[in-house]
């Protein structure tokens, strides 16, 4: 089953800012989005549910330093990215 990525305008601005700050991560970011769309449960993404103030959201890893927080809408097979950045920036 393929998942649909649904990008909001707010996320697109955050992603553009992230990619300007981290041009070395462009390839890893693109690979993460492709893998997320194909199989969000792939082990290399390290998908996990968040707790506390981010309860209801999930996180995937771009690399050891950077994450994407997202909302999984299971019934519609949609993934809505919320934020992208370093561990401290997104949590």
User: Tens digit of pLDDT per residue, the chain (91 long)?
Assistant: 689 999 999 999 999 999 999 999 999 999 999 999 999 999 999 999 999 999 999 999 999 999 999 998 877 889 999 999 998 888 8
Domain ranges for the chain, please list them. Answer: 4-90
Rg of the chain on CA atoms, in Å: 12
Q: How many whole angstroms separate alpha carbon 12 and alpha carbon 2?
A: 21
User: What pLDDT, on a 0 to 100 scale, did the predictor assign at position 74?
Assistant: 73
User: What pLDDT, on a 0 to 100 scale, did the predictor assign at position 76?
Assistant: 81
Strand residue runs (E) in 1-91: 4-5, 48-49, 58-61, 66-73, 78-86
Return the CATH fold of 4-90: YaeB-like fold (3.30.2310)
């Amino acid at each position: 089953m393929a998942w649909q990525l649904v990008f909001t305008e707010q996320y697109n601005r955050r992603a553009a800012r992230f990619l300007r700050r981290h041009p070395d991560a462009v390839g890893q970011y693109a690979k993460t989005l492709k893998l997320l769309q194909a199989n969000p449960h792939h082990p290399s993404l390290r998908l996990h549910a968040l707790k506390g103030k981010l309860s209801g959201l999930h996180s995937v890893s771009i690399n050891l330093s950077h994450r994407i927080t997202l909302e999984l809408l299971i019934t519609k097979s949609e993934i809505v990215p919320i934020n992208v950045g370093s561990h401290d920036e997104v949590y």
